[in-house]
Structure 1
Amino acid sequence: MRRRRCGLPRQERFRDLVTQLSDADEGRAVVSGLLGSAATPAGAAGPHSPHPATSVTCRGEGVDPDALVRHRTEITINAPLSTVWKLQTDVERWPSWQSPVETVERLDHGRFRTGSAFRWTMPIPPNPSTPATDLEITSTVRQLKHHACIRWTGPAIGEGLRIDGVHVWSFIKVKGGVRVRTEETHTGPQVEADVPTATELLREGLEAWLRELKSAAEARAHNRPR
């Protein structure tokens, strides 16, 4: 009997994804281990438009134009803009609604603003090249417009791994809620060793993030337990 994919543990779903994409050589295994912790969570749902027509920018700045690994996607959330914005910018509470995020520490104080920085960790599943470990990401907000957009950059570092990322978000009021658009690029020798696999895993991670943001915001807006 065929097992339902949604019932598999996260790390097993990750291994299945990598197997489907390609055979794992050394470079591919490193990339997969680094990004696979953000694989799609079980039961996630939401109307996605995975290929928005235009790049996402914040105050005129976007992602790395030269990066080979990139993905852009968007989702409509049926909740007030203030609710969505609060969830996204209250970074220290990310672990309460983002399943892959283990810890978050603000490196500054006060309101979330341009110049704010935070350090967060995600688990990396074991793979043929590296043991299970944690990925530490240090993000610095470079541009921000209240209730409109955020752009942050920073390195993600694990055992023998480094990725430099640029991540941009926009929040647009629409009838009944908010259209959230996001775009991210990755550079570094591990991800550039196998661009198709790294891109697919980035896609999985971004779309999972949007689905969990949608679930948390809509639950909060309608006072539903998560």
Structure 2
Amino acid sequence: MPGTRHTRTRVRTALFAAPLLAGLLGTATTVPAAATTASGPGASLTCRGEGVDPDARVRHRTETVIHAPLRTVWKLQTDVERWPSWQPHLTGVDRLDDGPFRTGSAFRWTVPVPPNPVTPATELDITSTVEQVRRHACIRWTGPAVGEGVRIDGVHVWTFTVVKGGVRVRTEETHAGPQVDADVPVATGILSQGLEAWLRDLKAAAEAPARRH
């Protein structure tokens, strides 16, 4: 398609939240001290009135305060092709459109997944599409992860709020599909580890001295 970058993505993560490979392999993930988490029911996050999949059985919500300017946090999160520079488990992400990050922007991930209690060993092709975005406030993207005998449908919402000393970042994600529905506790644990790691890496990158301006 016009304006498409065709280099295939190689992302060392799993499912939709980066990096989930550690969770799939059973490696411990450190949760930021400032984070609070919720995997059960409750008021969902929204962006322009739209939230996660209300019918999904696998979901996780978490948040943290990042001591950095909002513009720094927003730039890190929306410059998707540079995610590998601050998320150590990623090797690349392809934007499928040109220009600013906006509604309709899409990016592709190719994800190797080792065998685990939820899915067999496979490679997932993920295409995430931005459905809603409000600059410096919120993002919602959706997309399928498809592999051999596997399909997982994900919805991911992020919100950004200026607070004293920094930015409160909240995120919530849902996964749906036969493979994750077959073992909801395990799939939820995998998702939660991935989201906690993502927030940890975003916080570390945004608070790095070189970016605090």
User: TM (normalized to structure 1)?
Assistant: 0.76
Task: Provide the rounded CA distance (Å) in 1 between the counterparts of 2:126 and 2:54.
Answer: 21
1:153 aligns with 2:142: yes
Structure 1: distance between partners of 2:125 and 2:210: 33
Partners of 1:183 and 1:102 in 2: how far apart?
24
Q: Does 1:73 align with 2:62?
A: yes
Rg comparison, structure with higher value: 1
Mean Cα displacement is larger for which, 38-47 or 75-84?
Answer: 38-47
* Pairwise CA distance, 1:98: 1.4
Deviation of the 1:130 alpha carbon? 3.4
Counterpart of 1:51, as a letter, is A
Equivalent runs, 1:66-215 vs 2, <5 Å: 66-127=55-116, 130-131=120-121, 133-215=122-204
Tell me the distance in 2 between the aligned counterparts of 1:122 and 1:38: 13
State yes or no: 1:49 paired with 2:36. Answer: yes
- Which amino acid in the other structure matches residue 190 of structure 1? Q
Of 60, 63, 74, the match for 2:49: 60
Structure 1 or 2: larger helix share?
1
Contact 1:119 1:138 in 2 (8 A): yes
Return the TM-score normalized by structure 2: 0.81
- What code does the residue aligned with 1:196 have? P
CA deviation after TM superposition for structure 1 residue 122, in Å? 3.1
Pick one of 8, 14, 21 that aligns with 1:37.
Answer: 21
> Which residue identity is paired with 1:61?
E
Say if 1:44 and 1:212, in contact at 8 Å, map to a contact too. Answer: no
The gaps in structure 1 that reach 5 residues or longer are 1-10, 12-30
Separation of aligned partners in 2, 1:44 and 1:101? 19
Distance 1:143 1:177 in 2: 24
CA–CA distance in structure 2, aligned partners of residues 223 and 118 of structure 1:
27
Amino acid aligned to 1:48 = A
Higher strand proportion: 2
Identical aligned residues as a percent: 68
Distance (whole Å) between structure 1 residues aligned to residue 50 and residue 101 of structure 2: 18
